[in-house]
């Protein structure tokens, strides 16, 4: 297999879905798909006659329709296969999918598979969006595996493509067991990928989504997006940036860009005030607190009534008692417009 190709193993007992597997190869000829029945896969693992090597990603049907495509039936759901896959391929990501994305089945899939699988997908996403996100995700997982195979756990941080002055700080927040050089425990690469997706990307602090980035710069989200080109140099482009579904910006680089535009070198160090000046923001473009409506909210909070995220001042919000504070990440803040009337 060529260096830019990936091996995708699609496990399903519905022979009709073979066409989807073949379609993936047509749409992206760098993906080599092996469509296999769950019973055949299970038997091959157990008797060691069908063990598949060099797998980059498993795609497993959750419901398993019990349609027969190999003269055998697999009694179980896709979740029951994950243990078998983890035992034999601990560093290969497993994506579950369901063809019934609008039913209770898929809702259950989302709930039960959240921790068991790296990603949960409706089949329609694979059919409509094409295979490119599978390809790009698989390549990112491979980068992690290759880094660990070289014994370079300390270089996992480099895969995030962080600003040079952020590297040491990020090393402090990565779980210790994931950054010790020379250790190659099974599942370490998928664990690091999970940390990137579930902690690093989901908790604002090092990188910000558009609402957070705008708020921290004293802008409304709409104003920030209009000036998006100004912040291109701060875009996050590391692991999973192409498949996460939204854009992020490095906090430190955003601040650097604003301070560099401040040719007058104002006495204030408040990046929000400087941002308003250097970008010529009008009052309508300036961020306002969702509670007191005063300008320059400090952070983004969650409305305890609706669950909506909006800019708020620290003084107009409170800490989320359910949130576990993470070093160097922003804490979760709650607010209520009714309580502050």
CATH of the domain at 18: 3.40.50.2300
Q: Where a domain ends, among 106, 138, 170?
A: 138
Pair (211, 193) in one structural domain? no
pLDDT in tens, the chain (341 residues): 788 999 999 998 888 888 888 888 888 999 999 998 888 888 777 655 555 668 999 999 887 656 555 456 666 667 778 888 888 899 999 998 887 766 666 676 666 666 778 888 888 878 777 688 899 999 999 999 999 888 877 889 999 999 999 999 998 899 887 766 555 567 889 999 999 999 999 999 999 999 999 999 999 999 999 999 999 999 999 999 999 889 999 999 999 999 999 877 766 789 999 999 999 999 999 999 999 999 999 999 999 999 999 999 999 999 999 888 888 999 999 999 876 55
Q: Is 109 inside any structural domain?
A: yes
Report yes or no on 1 lying in a domain: no
The torsion defined by the Cα of 42, 56, 133 and 173, in degrees rounded to 10, comes to 110
Q: Side-chain half-sphere of 187: how many Cα atoms within 13 Å?
A: 14
Output b/e per residue, 294-332; b: 16+ Cβ within 10 A: ebbbbbbbbbeeeeebbbbbeebbeeeeeeeeeeebbbb
Same domain, 21 and 134: yes
15 and 127, same domain (yes or no)? yes
Residue 7 DSSP SS3: strand
- 165 and 252 assigned to the same domain: no
Are 103 and 127 in a shared domain? yes
Is 97 among the domain residues? yes
Same domain, 43 and 89: yes
Residues 134 and 179 grouped into a single domain? no
User: 119 and 25, same structural domain?
Assistant: yes
* Residue recorded with tokens 């190999």: 70
Position 222 scores a pLDDT of 97
Q: Looking at the whole model, is its pTM more than 0.85?
A: yes
Q: Which of 138, 164, 184 is the last residue of a domain?
A: 138
CA distance 78 to 80: 5
10 & 105 share domain:
yes
Assess if residue 150 is contained within a domain. Answer: yes
The answer on 335 and 248 residing in a single domain is no
Name the residue range of residue 270's domain.
204-285
Looking at the structure, do residues 21 and 118 belong to the same domain, yes or no? yes
174 domain-assigned: yes
Give how many domains the chain has, as a whole number: 4
Check whether residue 180 and residue 66 sit in a common domain. no
Q: State residue 72's pLDDT score.
A: 61
């Amino acid at each position: 297999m060529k260096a830019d190709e990936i091996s995708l193993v699609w496990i399903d007992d519905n022979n009709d879905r073979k066409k989807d597997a073949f379609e993936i190869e047509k749409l992206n000829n760098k993906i080599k798909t092996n469509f296999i029945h769950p019973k055949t896969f299970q038997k091959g693992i157990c008797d060691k006659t069908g063990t598949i090597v060099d797998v980059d990603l498993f795609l497993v049907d959750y419901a398993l329709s019990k349609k027969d495509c190999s003269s055998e039936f697999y009694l179980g759901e896709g979740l029951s296969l994950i243990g078998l896959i983890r035992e034999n391929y601990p560093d290969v990501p497993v994506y579950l999918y369901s063809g019934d994305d609008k039913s209770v089945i898929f809702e259950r899939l989302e709930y039960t598979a959240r921790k068991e699988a790296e990603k949960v997908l409706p089949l329609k996403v694979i059919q409509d969006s094409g295979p490119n996100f599978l390809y790009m995700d698989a390549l990112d997982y491979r980068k992690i595996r290759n880094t660990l195979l070289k014994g370079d756990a300390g270089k996992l941080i480099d895969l995030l493509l962080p600003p040079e002055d952020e590297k040491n700080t990020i090393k402090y927040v990565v779980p210790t067991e994931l950054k010790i050089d020379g250790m190659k425990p099974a599942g370490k690469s998928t664990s690091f990928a999970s940390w990137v997706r579930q902690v690093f990307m989901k908790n604002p602090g090092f990188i910000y989504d558009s609402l957070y980035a705008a708020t921290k710069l004293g802008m409304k989200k709409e104003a920030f997006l209009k000036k998006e080109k100004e912040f291109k140099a701060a875009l996050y482009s590391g692991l999973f940036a192409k498949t996460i579904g939204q854009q992020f910006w490095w906090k430190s680089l955003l601040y650097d860009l604003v301070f560099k535009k401040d040719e007058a070198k104002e006495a204030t160090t408040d990046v929000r005030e400087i941002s308003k000046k250097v970008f010529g923001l009008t009052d309508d473009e300036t961020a306002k607190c969702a509670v007191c409506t005063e300008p320059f909210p400090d952070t983004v909070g969650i409305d305890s009534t609706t669950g909506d995220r909006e800019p708020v001042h620290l003084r107009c919000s409170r800490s989320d008692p359910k949130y576990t504070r993470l070093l160097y990440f922003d804490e979760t803040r709650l607010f209520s417009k009714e309580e502050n009337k």
